Structures are given as C-alpha cells and as structure tokens.
Amino acid sequence: MSNTPNLQLPYVAAGQSQKHVTVNEGLRALDALVHMGVVSRSLASPPTSPQEGQRYLVPVGAASGFAGHAGQIAAWQDGSWFFYTPRLGWLSWVADEALLLAYNGTDWVIASGQYQNLPMVGINATADTTNRLAVSSAASLLNHAGAGHQVKINKATAGDTASLLYQSNWSGRAEMGLSGDDRFRIKVSADGGSWVNALEVAPTGTMGLGTAPGNAALTLAGPLRVASYNVAGLPSASSMGAGALAMVSNESGGAVLAFSDGTNWRRVTDRQTVS
C-alpha cells in the first residue's frame, strides 16, 4: 500500500529520497480534510481571489478550474487548487448556509439522516409529544415551488378533527375546519369554553348561518339584513344583477325592500319601479 486507507495520505517508502516531499503532501491533505469547513457548495467556478487554505465543495455542473471535480473538496493551497475525493462518513460545515453535511458514499447530504422521521422539531420553540412541530416566529411562509401550493390537514375518521384553531393568550376564540364530522364549520367563542357555530356547510353544499343547513341553499338562524340606500344612492340595478336585494330608505310611502330585475330596482310590495 502506498496510501493510508481512509484519508489516502501517502506513505514514506523505505529508502525514499526527498522524504519531505511525501510528508508535506500528507500534511497538506490533513490541513484540508481534518475539521473540514468549506466556504460554499454552490460556487460553479473557482473564486477570482481565493485565500490560502480556503475550501469549497464542487457542485454538479462546475466549470473552469472546477470542471470534472463534482462532489470533491477543492482546497486552495500553496497557490494552486488541490482536489480531494471524499469518503463515506466525512463531515463538512458549509459556512454560507450554516449547515452540516455528511458524505453518504455518493453525495453530500444534510447530516443527521437528512431530517427524515424526526420525533419532533422545535424552531425557536420547544416541541412536545402533542405539538411535535413548534414554531415561534413573527410570521411563517409556505411558498410554491414553481406553481401552486396546498396545505393539507388530514384526519383518520369522520368523527375526528381536522381544523385550524385561533387562540388569544392560549384560549380558543375561533376555529374552522372539520370537527366531529365532515361538515365544514366556522365556530367562535368568547371564553374558550362555549362555542357557537357561525357558519356550517354540509357536504351537499347547503349552508347554515347560525344554524344547521336545511334543504335550501342558505338557512338563517334569524332575520337577514340587507344594505340600506336612499333612492339617489342606489347602485346600478344592472351591475348588481337580477335578484339583488336592497332596502330603499326614502321611497314614496316609506322604506321598502326592493329587488333588481336586471335593469331597474322594483319594490317587492307592488313590483313598481323605485322612484
């Protein structure tokens, strides 16, 4: 063997002349590989003014002086680039990402199992067995990766809950989702204990406001209030569309409910045009 099995450091051969050359080569490799920290893993071409001892992980598709060395460690030493082939289990800290990588024999991956199947994760917070993902932040961003983006909340059975709960000082005030069945609800609470269904939508698409949905498209728990206008302030009947409702506050004979026929506003009492 002319090299060590792991770091591939050169051995000094028996009777070798100029032994310092081999020793220095081994020391240079040790300086590059032990306690390894690289500047970046995304630089496709060598930097124009590297500093002595700086190291980089060469990315796929590298060009110029890095071409043909994808996956290797590039180290600027003694005024030249030296390239080292990683071995299974080597670790490297990537400074510009604040990330620890490990070499799995094929590629550099995030250390600690690539964050798969972790029992819990806390980001600026402490996770527990109930809240296995805990995030303490002013905001959270879930961005698309080239097209749309879906947030999915899945429950096991219809009798379980899949919802978003909004709290005030850790006490529930509003909740939306599927709670105990497959009807979509928006619920509100003044104290976190007693809840009122503000809106309930059945799987058939019928809706109830303050009450369970009925056979009609919309069922109300109480009176319906429409916007009130004086005659001069009525919006365009055509732009509102046929079937729109409005209260006319100063119609002759007193306030009256009116509907749009698509062209004019008409009193519901006698179908005469609002004047």
Tokens of 46: 């060598």
In 3D space, the residue among 140, 107, 111, 143 whose CA is nearest the CA of residue 123 turns out to be: 140
pLDDT at 14 over 90: no
Q: Averaged over 168-179, what is the pLDDT?
A: 97
Beta carbons within 10 angstroms of residue 228's beta carbon = 13
Report strand pairing: 184-189 vs 171-179.
Answer: antiparallel
Beta carbons within 10 angstroms of residue 61's beta carbon = 9
Q: Averaged over 145-168, what is the pLDDT?
A: 97
For residues 84 and 32, what is the distance between their CA atoms, to the nearest angstrom?
Answer: 9
Q: Averaged over 232-250, what is the pLDDT?
A: 97
Q: What is the DSSP letter of 233?
A: G
Tokens of 128: 């527990």
pLDDT-based confidence at residue 1 (cuts at 50, 70, 90): low
pLDDT-based confidence at residue 19 (cuts at 50, 70, 90): confident
Residue 240: strand, helix, or coil: helix
The H or E element containing residue 75 is strand 73-77
pLDDT at 108 over 60: yes
**8 Å CB contact between 56 and 110:** no
pLDDT at 144 over 60: yes
pLDDT-based confidence at residue 126 (cuts at 50, 70, 90): very high
pLDDT-based confidence at residue 156 (cuts at 50, 70, 90): very high
pLDDT at 7 over 60: yes
Residue 107: strand, helix, or coil: coil
Q: Averaged over 19-28, what is the pLDDT?
A: 76
pLDDT at 113 over 60: no
- What pLDDT is stored for residue 22 in this prediction? 78
Beta carbons within 10 angstroms of residue 274's beta carbon = 19
Q: Cα–chain-centroid distance for residue 163? A: 18
Who wins on pLDDT, 93 or 11?
A: 93
Determine the length of the chain.
Answer: 275
Q: Over the chain, what is the mean pLDDT?
A: 91
- What pLDDT is stored for residue 2 in this prediction? 80
In 3D space, the residue among 86, 105, 78 whose CA is nearest the CA of residue 38 turns out to be: 86
Report strand pairing: 195-201 vs 256-260.
Answer: unpaired
Place of tokens 């240079």: 28
List Cα–Cα distances, 164 to 195, 219, 267, in angstroms: 15, 24, 43
